[in-house]
Structure formats: C-alpha cells, structure tokens
Amino acid sequence: MKQYTHYIGGEHLPGTSGRVAPIFNPSTGVQSAEVPLAAKSEVEDAIASAQAAFPAWAATSVLKRSRIMTRFTALLYEHQAELAELVSLEHGKVIEDAMGSVLRGIEVAEFACGIPHLQKGEFSDSVANGIDIYSLRKPLGVVAGITPFNFPAMIPLWMAGMAIATGNTFVMKPSEKDPGCPMRIAELFLEAGGPAGVFNVVNGDKVAVDTLLYDSRIKAVSFVGSTPIARYVYETATKNGKRCQAMGGAKNHMLILPDANLEGVANALMGAAFGSAGERCMAISVGVCVGDEVADKLIELLTPRIKALKIGTSLETGLEMGPLVTKEHRAKVMNYIQMGVDEGADLLIDGRDFVLEGHEEGYFLGGSLFDNVKKDMRSYKEEIFGPVLQLMRVQSFEEGLALATDHEYGNGTSIFTQSGAAARTYADRVEVGMVGINVPIPVPLAFHSFGGWKASSFGDHNQYGQEGMRFYTKVKTVTARWAESTIEADFSIPTLK
C-alpha cells in the first residue's frame, strides 16, 4: 500500500503527527494508500521553507521565471497521461474526463508563461517638469492554496501557476482524499528547474487549514470547496489580515426556451449533469423548461439516454461516468435523492438501483432524473454534487430568469435558445458569474477568469487569467524626479505643473 509524505523544500518528508487518513480506489472500494495528516508544526515547516525561498525567487528575473514555467508546462504535457491516471485512481473520474481536466489545468500554467507581459506595470512620462510616475506589480510573499477533491490536477494548477509565476512562493494543502496528483505536480516543478521551497505540499485536514489561515507569514489564501467552508476560510483569512479568494458551491440552472433544439439540449444536459458523476461545481443540476411541452419532450429524450449511461471503472476507456469519490459521499447523494422523493418531486429514474457487476463494493450510482421540482424544496436549494438532474417547469422566460437570479448560489448558468435577443437579455440580467449561451458548462479559458457570484464566491478576485495575476500581486507606485537644479521647500500638498 502506498504511503504518501509531505513535500517540503523539495524533499519528501514522512508525517510525524501520528495521524493518517486512508485513500480508497473508488472503483473497487479497496484502500490503496495512506496519507499523513499534518500537525501544526509540520505546516509551519512548509511555511518556513516557502518563506526562506521567497527573497531569491521574487528577485529572479521575470524572463527566468517564465522559462522555468515553460519547462514546467512542457513536463506537464509530457506527463499528462500519468497525471490523469492518478486522478482516475483516486478520484474516480473516467480516464478521458481526467485527461481533459489535466489539460484545463495545464492551460493555466501555459498562460502563466506569458508573465513578462502579464505583470507589466504602467508608466507616465513627464507628468510634470522632470517627473515621471510608474507602477510595479510586486509579489505578495508566501501564499497558500487549499484545493478540493473533485479536480486534483486542474485546480492546483489554477492556483500554483499564477502564484509562482508572479514571484510568490506557494504552500498547497490538497484534499486528503486524492493527494497523489498534486504531489506529482510539485515534483515536476522542481524537475523543471524551479528552486526548492518555491512549491511545497503539506497534507492534512482542519489542523493544516487553520494553521495556514492564522499564520502571519501567509499573505494570501486561495480556496475552492463547499460554501460553508469557503465562508469560514474567507472570514478567518481576512480577519487575520490576508488577501483571500474562496470559491464555494453551486446550483447551476439551464434555461431551455421553446425554440431550442431539444435533441441538442438533451445531449448537452447528459454531459453537463452526469459527467464526472456530477461532482463538478459547474455541473448543470437544474434544467428549467419553459412550458410543459418542452419538459415532456425533454423527458422523452433524456430517459433512454440516462438509462443507457456507460458506467464503469475509472481506467476503462469509452465510458461516460465512473464512481463517486468516497463511500460517504455516495451515501450523501443517495440521501438527497430520498429527500427529493419525500419532498414530493417525481423521481422518474432512480440511480440508486445501479450495481456494477463485479464491482459491488465500488462507489457507483446511476443517473437520477427528477421532474416537478419546486423552488421551496431543500433538495433544490442545496448542492447535491452527484449524478442527479432536477427538472423544473415554468411558464415564461421571466420566471426562468428569476429562478437562477434568486437562488442563493450564483456560480454558472446557461441558456439554450435560437433567439439572440433572449440570450443577450439573459446573459445581461441573470445574477450569476459565468454564463453559457448554447454552451452547457461555461468554464472560461485560461486567458479569462473563473468565478461565481453570491454564495458561490467570497473575495474580490476571480481565479486565474488577469484576475489571478492581480490577486497574487500588489501595486507599488513610484514618483521620480531627476532635477537639474536644487529642490526648494514646499509646505503645501504636492501639485504638479
């Protein structure tokens, strides 16, 4: 059985706390590894390693940092299949989905290679006689990333790529459910020529999280996870004087108008609701049908597709869905399905009945489909985070728009229609951070940025893109005079002529 370590100062260090957590292969239900849960002192060691490495890394020329990031990106591409296999074995994503998730992370590291351009400041020449003003974007210092179980390659790279390229040093606390891929990514950074101590990985639970949130040497914290924890991370980090971006949960709606191509909608919903077993913060979990005719036809199209979902173990190819991440999470999703039944929604397809022959101990569910879901139901208000699609029936565009706008979460949404006017109005008015028009999962590419609204996001900056560069840097403005004559005393507020 594999024994994981911490990765501090470029070295693998065994845990010393005496606390460990098991890691299971979700396809088999069999324990595959053990991960140490760090004591406060071990997290402090990682912070100290990053702090020691910061001055030299921050002083490294932006071109050299870019070249190291370029070699790092090349290694990530070279090891993409290896990283995807680690994701599949510990998280349960089917291998094709895992490959795609690794690629989306690599794209951010690739974007960060352009840091010489991205991190440029501004310059104003001759604002007054002999005076210039210019601004610089400087790194913050030691920054931390706390990453979730559902994307153990993509989200660590969202954070690490921009944090390190901008001249910060980085301490990552990955999910204890699937730490293998984040650990390998840190190793590849060192192999690319990154200095020891710039990229550290410490495994752990709340003890590790709280140490990062309270330690004064940590200047910024980036988090992705559930909303209750995101709120806690944001409030604790900011109370302790840190910059923080904390991404939380979601309940993403797809508004389906009567003029939409329903064959295309059904196909889009299949991937958006059931891909990665629904364990995506950008999964479409609510289909909002304008009119009963749309809902009835969509159910007719979805039913055979959901019943025919290709479900199997994560390393098999040609599949559409693998297991859920843990036995406990599977039970949680099953409880939400029962909750929907108890609340009066119509369960048309019950994924709890699914059993994968030969893998009865794996954490599998089939796809579930609800109809006639109402907005006062708890199963609608809360994030299920599993392969469950809920359909709601509304009678107008305005009623559908209000559902997404009024919901507590505001992460992503989409509209399917042939009407440009309706699509434009929806994109403009809906109170959600990311909008797709005839696109079911509108995750922005690396040169834009990712972030929701309302209870889906806490903090002023989104992930990656130019927003990421701004989050991981602070502005220093210099006013410079090179005078040919002696400066005279002036006791009034400075004005420039």
pLDDT at residue 321, as a whole number:
98
Residue 262 in this model has a pLDDT that exceeds 80? yes
Residue 491 in this model has a pLDDT that exceeds 90? no
pLDDT band at 496 (very low <50, low <70, confident <90, very high): low
Residue 12 in this model has a pLDDT that exceeds 80? yes
Using DSSP, state whether 385 is helix, strand or coil: coil
Which pTM does this prediction carry? 0.95
Task: Tell me the percentage of the chain whose pLDDT exceeds 70.
Answer: 99
Residue 495 in this model has a pLDDT that exceeds 80? no
pLDDT one-digit tens code per residue, 129-160: 889 999 999 999 999 999 999 999 999 999 99
Q: What is the DSSP string of 211-261?
A: HHHH-TTEEEEEEES-HHHHHHHHHHHHHTT-EEEEE----EEEEE-TTS-
Mean pLDDT of 162-180: 98
Alpha-carbon span 287 to 414, nearest angstrom: 10
pLDDT band at 483 (very low <50, low <70, confident <90, very high): confident
Mean pLDDT of 256-263: 98
Alpha-carbon span 118 to 115, nearest angstrom: 5
Strand order, beta sheet including 142-146: 11-13, 6-8, 199-201, 169-173, 142-146, 218-224, 243-247, 457-458
pLDDT band at 31 (very low <50, low <70, confident <90, very high): very high
CATH value of 2-248+456-478 in 3.40.50.10490, 3.20.20.70, 3.40.980.20, 3.40.605.10: 3.40.605.10
Mean pLDDT of 92-96: 97
Enzyme catalytic residues: 281
Residue 388 in this model has a pLDDT that exceeds 90? yes
236 phi/psi in degrees, rounded to 5: -70, -45
Question: CA Rg, the chain, in Å?
Answer: 24
Task: Tell me the percentage of the chain whose pLDDT exceeds 90.
Answer: 95
pLDDT one-digit tens code per residue, 203-235: 999 999 999 999 999 999 999 999 999 999 999
Mean pLDDT of the chain, nearest integer: 97
Residue 324 in this model has a pLDDT that exceeds 80? yes
Residue 489 in this model has a pLDDT that exceeds 90? no
Contact predicate 47/215, CB 8 Å: yes
pLDDT band at 484 (very low <50, low <70, confident <90, very high): confident
CA distances from 449 to 119, 173, 415, 444 (A): 16, 22, 20, 6
Q: What is the DSSP string of 434-497?
A: EEEES-SS-PPPTTS-B--EETTEESS--BSHHHHHHHTEEEEEEEEE--SSPPPP--SPP---
Alpha-carbon span 89 to 438, nearest angstrom: 33
State the burial class of residue 124 (Cβ atoms within 10 Å of its Cβ: 0-12, 13-18, 19+). Answer: exposed
User: Can you give the residue ranges of every domain in the chain?
Assistant: 2-248+456-478, 252-437
Class for the domain spanning 252-437: alpha beta
**Of the listed ranges 177-181, 435-439, 481-485, the one predicted with least confidence:** 481-485
Mean pLDDT of 484-495: 74
pLDDT at residue 497, as a whole number:
59
